Structure 1
Amino acid sequence: MRRGGREQPEAGVQAGIDTHRLPWSVSRLGARSEYRFAAPAPRTGIESAAAADAELEDFLHLYPANRGILLTPFHNMALMCPDTTEQDADAHTEIFAAALAVLHG
């Protein structure tokens, strides 16, 4: 397996956002990819709170968790360890896309 999957989740999430024309954003900082229910991404705590959707966050945590992908419990954030492979990242992208299909099917 080839390493290098840490950059892929951001691209995969953005592709899902674009496919469904959602007013969401995704950002990556190192090993962390996070998506928010606002575009552009919130820049302050007030903007972040305004963009929150507890029911949607719960769904987007439980759907992947039931399929082997664990997101941090307090954000829509995936942390990709240095050993993340392209296959791991692709699994995240596929499950995220499937979740969006359920939401917007």
Structure 2
Amino acid sequence: MNNYEQKSSFLIKIALSIKGGNVCEVKIKDKNVLCINTIALIPSKTGTNSITIRMTTSSGKSAFICNLNEQSNMYQTQTKLEFFEKEIVSFEAFGTGEVHLSGVLFFFDSKKEN
């Protein structure tokens, strides 16, 4: 008998909302890939309405995602961020306003069969 690894995947549409000055922390259970499609700034009634989004992981990776303001309040992108099992991912918003991230999260499921 041969052992082989069968990999299947499934996806979940996601949406995150982060207010300026806050951090959204996500704990990854299985290996997955996050593809962010749209990032939009929802202006606040006070402040400069300029916001910067950064991502950091518990494994030491970090990335600048975007900088939005009232003139450029929508960002269309095709990112591909790969995360590993048991990794903690933090999305940080610096500035004022609120930002909405939407995209797709791909999960990979590995099974061994005989």
What TM-score, normalized to structure 2?
0.28
Q: Give the structure with the larger strand fraction.
A: 2
Which has the greater radius of gyration? 2
What TM-score, normalized to structure 1?
0.29
